[in-house]
Amino acid sequence: MDEGLHGIAATVVLLRDGADGLEVLLLERPHDRGSFAGAWVFPGGAVDPEDAAGLGADSDQAAARVAAVREVEEETGLVLSASNLVTVSRWTPPAGIPKRMQTWFFYAPAEAGPVTLHPDEAIAFQWIRPAHALERHAAGGLKLFPPTWVTLHELLGDASVADAVSRARATDLAEFITRFAGTTVLWHPDVAYDDDSLLDADGPHHRLETGALPWVYTRD
């Protein structure tokens, strides 16, 4: 693990087939405390020492899978099997931010049952189609952070849980090592990743423009 990181975390994109297509579960974080205050996020949280017990060295993903199951149950009351988790991406935040956690993202088909929120972790929830969530964000009605926004964007072409899981299983792990250039969020192999002066240069783009709504994502 990068020495500048403060730990490992897990995020779970819970998927279900709704009447109008694929839906995801989003939780609204409390507005007055905690990480991502006031934002709508996927369930998840930090890996605890107990999650990594007995897993040995180089076990970040395995520990994140254990944490993913635990966090989903703690935050939503839904019970998952670790065998149903599909790893889709790993996010490394930019240097210098507080509580800098490298986070593994997983897809998981949602088990049947009611969502029961932990009041310290979330104040509301909704099952929502990814396109609708992005539309509400673009209109200023839904607070999202870049990892959530990009993950929702990646689901736009999936009509069902089976489609999303199949695509994820057939795709290599997406690595997002984040850097900010003003209001532009950059990832490899963007031409400006190592040099802000190249923001307007020709070349590969992998970026999210967040200076105004709607946000614009470009990935060549």
On the question of pLDDT at 1 being above 60, the answer is no
**Structural domain includes residue 129:** yes
Cα(188)–Cα(85) distance, rounded to whole angstroms?
26
**Are residues 113 and 189 located together in one domain of the fold?**
no
**Are residues 43 and 152 located together in one domain of the fold?**
yes
* Average pLDDT of the chain to the nearest whole number: 94
State the total domains in the chain.
2
In three-state form (DSSP H/G/I as H, E/B as E, the rest C), the secondary structure along the chain is CCCCCCEEEEEEEEEEEECCEEEEEEEECCCCCCCCCCCEECCEEECCHHHHCCCCCCCHHHHHHHHHHHHHHHHHCCCCCHHHCEEEEEEECCCCCCCCEEEEEEEEECCCCCCCCCCCCCCEEEEECHHHHHHHHHCCCCCCCHHHHHHHHHCCCCCCHHHHHHHHHCCCCEEEECEEECCEEECCCCCCCCCHHHCCCCCCCEEEECCCCCCEEEEC
**Are residues 72 and 140 located together in one domain of the fold?**
yes
**Are residues 146 and 96 located together in one domain of the fold?**
yes
Q: What is the pLDDT of residue 56?
A: 66
Least confident of 41-50, 51-60, 182-191, 210-219: 51-60
- Domain span at residue 31 reads 7-177
Cα(26)–Cα(80) distance, rounded to whole angstroms?
16
* 9: number of Cβ within 10 Å: 22
Q: What is the pLDDT of residue 135?
A: 98
Dump pLDDT digits (tens) for 42-98. Answer: 999 999 999 988 776 568 999 999 999 999 999 999 999 999 999 999 999 998 888
**Are residues 86 and 41 located together in one domain of the fold?**
yes
Band of pLDDT at residue 5, cut at 50, 70 and 90:
confident
Q: What is the pLDDT of residue 57?
A: 59
Please report where in the chains the tokens 């695509």 appear, as a residue.
167
Band of pLDDT at residue 180, cut at 50, 70 and 90:
very high
Instruction: Please state, for a pLDDT cut of 90, what percent of the chain lies above it.
Output: 84
**Structural domain includes residue 1:** no
Cα(115)–Cα(219) distance, rounded to whole angstroms?
35
**Are residues 106 and 133 located together in one domain of the fold?**
yes
Segment 157-184 mean pLDDT: 97
Q: What is the pLDDT of residue 3?
A: 59
**Are residues 171 and 207 located together in one domain of the fold?**
no
**Structural domain includes residue 101:** yes
Q: What is the pLDDT of residue 96?
A: 81
**Structural domain includes residue 153:** yes
**Are residues 77 and 186 located together in one domain of the fold?**
no
**Are residues 118 and 152 located together in one domain of the fold?**
yes
Say what the pTM is.
Answer: 0.95
Q: What is the pLDDT of residue 192?
A: 98
**Are residues 136 and 33 located together in one domain of the fold?**
yes
Q: What is the pLDDT of residue 10?
A: 98
Cα(40)–Cα(46) distance, rounded to whole angstroms?
17
Segment 20-26 mean pLDDT: 97
Q: What is the pLDDT of residue 53?
A: 83
**Are residues 151 and 171 located together in one domain of the fold?**
yes
Phi and psi at 207, nearest 5°, equal -155, 160
Looking at residue 88, which CATH number applies to its domain? 3.90.79.10
Least confident of 55-59, 188-192, 210-214: 55-59
